[in-house]
Amino acid sequence: MKKITIALIAVLGLYSCTEDFITKDPLGVSSTATYYNDPDQCKLAVNAIYDPLGWFELHDEYLWKIGDICTDDAERGGANGLKTYTTGDDWDKSGQLSVFQATDRSSVMSGIWDAAYKGIARANAMLDGCEGTDNQQIKEMRAEVRFLRAWYYFQLTKTFGPVVLLKNSVSPSDAENLGNRASGDDNIGTKAVREQYDFIISELEAIKGELPTTAESGKVTSGAARAFLAKAYLYRADICDNPADYEKAYLAAYTL
């Protein structure tokens, strides 16, 4: 009789349970809806956005290769020396980089593209996830991330010219329909490049006063933002034929 009573109580208890009681979110899985509300978790996300900068596809190797070895600043050395410099070697197998005719088949060019967009995707995820926050720590980190996203776009624009300008996270299916030309653009993407420099500069102007003057080693500061802003103005002045930007570069560099 005692066993029957216990079983009956258990059955009645199950019927009295609400759906909220038996339906729980997985406790071991973070949700993007709440992840970026925590400054400690946001810091981890920001560190992940810095990460691609040190990959060999960017500053560790590839940006140096196209910036120096493809010019007269340096010559590619190694076992074969200059013998294979224009006919192909371990990093320029097609020989196209050295004569400025690289295509998307080049591992160097595709590597830069992939690494930069991974940094941008991580930045957009963080910025979308904590938009409208009132937390001062997270606000500073948002400024830091906007700097990094602008930096990735600067490298892409310098290297490729017109690229896909993503200001928010996009799904893989939506990404398939995106292009690297602005509406009414010409064949070389003049309008798109201008929009990219405009975006980079507007981001830096917006956050230059929101960054600290000192930070952890390797982290973005207000001084870094002003220096980068001056550089971006100089590039836009030259590439987009905008002479007024020279004075703006001067002011960005010398005005606290």
Q: Alpha carbon of 238 to those of 64, 230, 234, 244, 249: distances in Å? A: 22, 13, 6, 10, 12
- Report pLDDT for 121: 96
Q: What is the pLDDT of residue 85?
A: 47
- pLDDT of 10: 53
pLDDT at res. 19: 59
What is the Cα–Cα distance from 45 to 53, expressed in whole angstroms?
Answer: 14
Contacts for 163 with CB less than 8 Å, ≥ 6 apart: 153, 156, 157, 180, 192, 196
Backbone angles phi, psi at 42, to 5 degrees: -60, -40
User: Within the chain, which residues score under 50 in pLDDT?
Assistant: 12, 81-89
Confidence at residue 9, expressed as pLDDT on a 0 to 100 scale:
53
pLDDT at 60: 81
State the pLDDT at residue 244.
97
Reported as type and span, the H/E element at residue 44 is helix 39-50
Q: Supply the pLDDT for residue 243.
A: 96
